[in-house]
Amino acid sequence: MGEFNGVVIIDKPPDVTSAGVVALLKRLLRVRKIGHAGTLDPFATGVLVCCVNQATRLARFFLRGKKKYEAVLRLGIEMDTQDATGDVIRTSADTDFSENRLKGVFRKFLGESLQRPPVHSALKHNGVRLYKLARQGKPVQKPERKIQISSIEILDIQSPDLRFEVECSAGTYIRTLCSDVGAVLGCGAHLKELRRLESSGFNLAEALTLDEVDDLVASGTFGDHIVSMADALRGMPAVSAGSGLKEKIRFGKKLTISDFPSERDGLPDGFVGIVDEDKQLCAVLEINNVLNQYKYCCVIKN
């Protein structure tokens, strides 16, 4: 099955790491090269974008995409990890808030803001994961970084638990959001459950469980469920390449606007996918029309 090049969306089960899912997928598909785009914590479930073989070169484009989650926040208990896997720091019995009060607090987090990444995270400090340093009693606090929450809605209130849905930029920590909500309310809070509904344009409707992957491989129909590299770059403009352009790309030759005669209105700035007559991805370019630059981000061998 090593000939597969594309993206498979996995509905990650609970109590397994994202790296563990990749390891299982490698064994099921019998391929050497698979990577995921966007880590989910072990207790979390939902959309995990997995890139197979040459598609691993596209992973960085998926890391930038928006995410959508359904989560459960528990009021009145503050955890050192900001989620249910940690140790209790503080408790409060004062968790009886009106629906209007809760909705008002959630609305405060809409839009652009600065968020401080948790000390228990997979970010690195001097090459070491922060959660490892935290476990050693050497927590490192990274500086705040800009995030964007485009929508947030409370779905259900069963005090002390609140179920909500949030759409946010890449790099947003939902457990930190829960902790921050608890801080504003004054009672403390942590993330109890998390399910990723969407990531970089992929959603749960496209996702396969690991058992389903196993069945599809056994039946020889897995190839029907892998997303081609060209189709996987959702939201990225695509340009068709004739044989001449395809040859230049194949050998990494310098490109100019004259190599795109069909694009009479010019090429869009930013990342652009180049596809051949068979709708196969040839390359991803980064284009700067002002500087007349056409930089190769990656070239795919077909």
Q: Would you kindly state where each structural domain of the chain is located, as residue ranges? A: 6-65+201-232, 67-199, 238-299
- Find the mean pLDDT for residues 164-190: 96
Above 70 in pLDDT, residue 126?
no
Helix (H) or strand (E) holding 296: strand 293-299
Asked if CATH classification 3.40.980.10 holds for the domain at 6-65+201-232, the reply, yes or no, is no
Which segments within 169-280 are labelled E, that is strand? 189-199, 202-203, 238-240, 270-275
Q: What backbone torsions phi and psi does residue 253 show, to the nearest 5 degrees?
A: -75, 155
- Cα 28 to Cα 51, 250, 262: the distances in Å are 14, 32, 43
Which tokens in the block code for residue 263?
Answer: 């694009």
- 6-65+201-232 and 67-199 share one fold: yes
- Supply the pLDDT for residue 291: 81
Quick one: pLDDT band at residue 130, thresholds 50, 70, 90?
low
Q: Which of 82, 71, 29, 55 is nearest to 218 (CA)?
A: 29
pTM summary value: 0.90
Asked if CATH classification 3.30.2350.10 holds for the domain at 67-199, the reply, yes or no, is yes
Q: How many CB atoms lie within 10 A of CB 103?
A: 15
Distance CA(46)–CA(22), nearest Å, equals: 14
State pLDDT tens for residues 16-73: 999 999 999 999 999 989 999 989 999 999 999 999 999 999 999 998 889 999 999 9
Above 90 in pLDDT, residue 102?
yes
Percent of the chain residues past pLDDT 70, beyond the cut: 92
3-state secondary structure of 19: helix
- Supply the pLDDT for residue 134: 61
* Catalytic annotation, residues: 41
Distance CA(205)–CA(152), nearest Å, equals: 21
Please, which residues bridge with residue 290 across strands?
A: none
| Fold topology of 238-299 | 2.30.130
Token pair 């921050």 in the structure block, residue = 180
State pLDDT tens for residues 149-160: 999 999 999 999
